[in-house]
Amino acid sequence: MIRTGDAILVLNAGSSSIKFGLFEATAAGPETRLDGQMEGIGATPHLIAHDAARRVLADRRWSGPDVADHAAALAAILEGTGQALAGRRIAAIGHRVVHGGPDLAAPVLVDAAVLARLRALVPLAPLHQPHNLAGIEAMAARFPGVPQLACFDTAFHRSHPWEADTYALPPEFHARGIRRYGFHGLSYEYISRRIAAEDAALGAGRLVVAHLGNGSSLCAVRGGRSLDSSMGFTALDGVPMGTRCGQIDPGVLLHLLEAEGMGTAALTRLLYNDAGLKGMSGLSQDVRELEASARPEAARALSHFAWRVRREIGALAATLGGIDALVFTAGIGENAAALRGRICEGLDFLGIRLDPGRNAADAAEISVAGAPVRVLVRRTDEERMIAEHILATLARA
């Protein structure tokens, strides 16, 4: 039972970072009290936290060995934000969990049985799922008895029609869970709700949302529901990402395994860690670093990324039967104006026309006035979406 004034702690663990938020339960919903991130875990750890007024509460750096893993990072986060937590009753803890499989299509209270089901899905999300579960286990030890809720990146996409959900394989494979799940669902759900709150008619319409960051995907949303997504069975599919390959001919994988003798461990590392912008450029997965580089490989990597995102926008617009708005979100989508411009080049046929000045200023709306399709930039907030799920779920419990 959550009472007004209780605290809700939210953790969003990635492969080398942990985002977090502390919310207060109010009659109007969760109110942010602090948020922050520990990035560079195991390499150049940096903790930054802000209060609701965006004042810095913590800003500290360590050497890699001092915060070598996610358990150490969680301990450092709790120590660094202890003053804000002091005196607050933490009534619930929420976690972003990347993969919920075919059955976990809504937030769920975590118990031993749920944890076992989620561990079985680790091979489908090896960069994220282990860290998501480590956060749950660490918080269970630190706050025994406090309810923990798992919220799934795949859940928002369970509204896909069968045609978007299946692969062209015999039906028994779909029955065994080999299907297109889609990811970044918490981000898409938050953006869809925000657009609907701003403009009910637009929220009921046809959106292509581009969640572009170190992990990137796009989603077709109609009437607030996911109709299709660029990602599939795993978070490798779709557009290229920071270190992940995106869509690739499965024949390439067979060739690497059979003709070139690459083992599965080496292939996994290639596809998840050594591909994408980092692999193509031979330099970095950071768009800012690539844009500043004079190396032709960096320029080609960005050009390929823009090409593939543009192609996906067109495909999802076809799925929707037209498009009312294109929404950019996440680290690249919210901040990389030049790359947004390159992505939108040649999309005039869809009615997408950027205003260069608005785009350069990272304005909330970057399309030209009166364009048939609105192009928006919105900050995503997966942590708030999780906090909202906690309040709704525990109110029903």
Neighbours of 85 (CB within 10 A): 14
> What does the block give as tokens for 22?
């502390």
Catalytic residue among 35, 153, 324, 381: 153
Spatial separation of the C-alpha atoms in residues 396 and 113, rounded to whole Å: 21
Spatial separation of the C-alpha atoms in residues 360 and 129, rounded to whole Å: 36
Nearest to 77 by CA among 2, 6, 18, 147: 18
> What does the block give as tokens for 374?
């609105």
Instruction: Tell me whether residue 294 is exposed, middle or buried, using C-beta atoms within 10 angstroms of its C-beta: 0 to 12, 13 to 18, 19 or more.
Output: exposed
Nearest to 391 by CA among 77, 147, 132: 147
- 323 Cβ contact partners less than 8 Å away, ≥ 6 residues apart: 206, 207, 208, 313, 316, 317, 350, 351, 352, 373
> CA geometry: angle at 257 spanning 255 and 261, to 5°?
105
Neighbours of 159 (CB within 10 A): 17
Beta bridge partners of 221: 207, 226
End-to-end CA distance of the chain: 8
- Whether residue 153 lies in the annotated active site: yes
Spatial separation of the C-alpha atoms in residues 207 and 168, rounded to whole Å: 27
Judge contact between 276 and 241, C-beta under 8 A.
yes
Neighbours of 28 (CB within 10 A): 6
Spatial separation of the C-alpha atoms in residues 306 and 300, rounded to whole Å: 10
CA–chain centroid gap for 91, Å, is 25
> What does the block give as tokens for 229?
């997504």
Q: CA–CA distance from 127 to each of 14, 71, 101 (Å)?
A: 7, 16, 16
What is the SS3 assignment for 123?
Answer: helix
Residues assigned a catalytic role: 153
